[in-house]
Structure 1
Amino acid sequence: MARLYADEQFPFPVVEFLRLLGHDVLTVQAAGKAGQKIHDPDVLDFATEENRSVITLNRNDFIQLHKIRPHHAGIIVCSDDRNWEALANRIDRAINDEILTNRLIRVNRL
């Protein structure tokens, strides 16, 4: 299963569902980095140092970041969806058995 790093705005209920699906998800809060207004490039750097793919709802910024910094442990950008379990299942399907290094994966709401 995947090693993920959920950015500060990523919904915690989705994190919990991803953990139930077997993914190792570290949150910004658990990493002790909450409320520090850490810039997106630094979020990506930390995740890459920890060999974790960033998971975020901040689609536009991380898509741009991937274009200018394509070497990372992976970026998963998601459409906002209040059906937390459905979103977690779509993420799981999108990344299941995939090599995430240097990849940008888009998970869209159906």
Structure 2
Amino acid sequence: MANLYADEQFPLPVVILLRDLNHNILTVQEAGNAGLSDPEVLEFAINNERAIITQNRRDFIKLHSQNHNHAGIIVCTNDRNIERLADRINQAIAYETTLLNKLIRVNRPQ
């Protein structure tokens, strides 16, 4: 499965569910990187070959537009249904052969 890096505000319950789905996911807090700026979070993810997973869509879409050389950026809308969010993320990346340099949008159902 995917090597992911959850930014500081990404919901921990969703991280746990993604781990249950066999994704290798590291949080900013686990890496000791709490308080880093978004560009620094992206730099850490690039250096550690991990795709960012975030609900901070605006800032990370902007970072993607400035730098297409990364291990992937997954931007998600807020969804209080954590099981549904984890499942949508899993489905969005399940059939990707690589996340390298991709921006993947995971939107809440209408």
**2:104 equivalent in structure 1:** 105
Gaps of 5+ in 2: none
Q: How many residue pairs get matched?
A: 108
**1:2 equivalent in structure 2:** 2
Letter in 2 for 1:102: N
- The structural deviation recorded for 1:39 is 1.1
**2:31 equivalent in structure 1:** 31
Deviant stretches of 4+, over 3 Å: none
- The structural deviation recorded for 1:38 is 1.1
CA deviation vs aligned residue, 1:15-69 (integer Å, no higher than 9, x gap): 00000001000001110112xx211111011011111000000000000110011
**2:52 equivalent in structure 1:** 54
- The structural deviation recorded for 1:90 is 0.2
Percent identity of the aligned residues? Answer: 61
Q: Are positions 1:16 and 2:42 aligned together? A: no
Please give the alpha-carbon distance, in whole angstroms, between the structure 2 residues aligned to 1:41 and 1:3.
19
For residue 26 of structure 2, give the secondary structure of its aligned residue in structure 1.
Answer: strand
Gaps of 5+ in 1: none
Alignment map for 1:60-71 (pairs within 5 Å): 60-71=58-69
TM score, norm. by length of structure 2: 0.96
Q: Are positions 1:41 and 2:22 aligned together? A: no
Alignment map for 1:64-79 (pairs within 5 Å): 64-79=62-77
